[in-house]
Amino acid sequence: MSSFAKNQTTVKALAKRIAAIKPRDHGGIALLGLMAGVLYSLERAIELNFDDARMKREVYDESIEIHDTLEAIGHGRVPSHAWLAGFYLFSAIMRIDTFCERIVKYARVKIVLAPEVHRINKAIKHKDDAGLKKGLKIQIADVLRSTKDVCELLEKVLA
């Protein structure tokens, strides 16, 4: 089985497991909703064939792609699949990090979840260049692994 097919299968299996959870309060519902967004974003990034090499692109390539994306949006066209794949992967990263912040408060636990994802999201949020200058040291497999970890915690917390 290709890594693409394996990743798709993993996301679908996680979605089915998470769908079985029946939250009992607003906080649990909010966590479940956030995880639905993580899984959808990750599924779309995989479906659009996110390329890990994009994490270390040259500034010129990044600049051209942003310009092309803005042109597409300005003319009512869909941006390139490559750009969309990155958009969805970053959406998953941001949502996972937000999920981790919320679930430790909700469950009143002191654990560190998804440290690679947190580091990347912190760079996106706080560095002037969003971490682009050095390249972002994360791959889709890392994001998928973090997603599995947080899904397992969600199952335990909301069970």
Instruction: Round to whole Å and give the CA distance between 54 and 49.
Output: 11
Q: Is the pLDDT of residue 17 over 90?
A: yes
Q: Average pLDDT, stretch 110-130?
A: 86
Lowest mean pLDDT among 24-28, 83-87, 107-111: 107-111
Q: What is the reported pTM?
A: 0.91
Lowest mean pLDDT among 8-12, 35-39, 116-120, 135-139: 135-139
Instruction: Round to whole Å and give the CA distance between 151 and 159.
Output: 12
Domain ranges of the chain: 3-158
DSSP code of residue 78: P
* Mean of pLDDT over the chain: 91
120-155 CB burial, b ≥16 within 10 A, e <16: bbebbeeeeeebbeeebebbbebbbebbeebbebbe
pLDDT tens, position by position, 66-80: 999 999 999 999 999
Residue 18 has a pLDDT of 97
Residue 10 has a pLDDT of 96
Q: Is the pLDDT of residue 60 over 70?
A: no
Q: Is the pLDDT of residue 58 over 80?
A: no
Q: Is the pLDDT of residue 136 over 80?
A: no
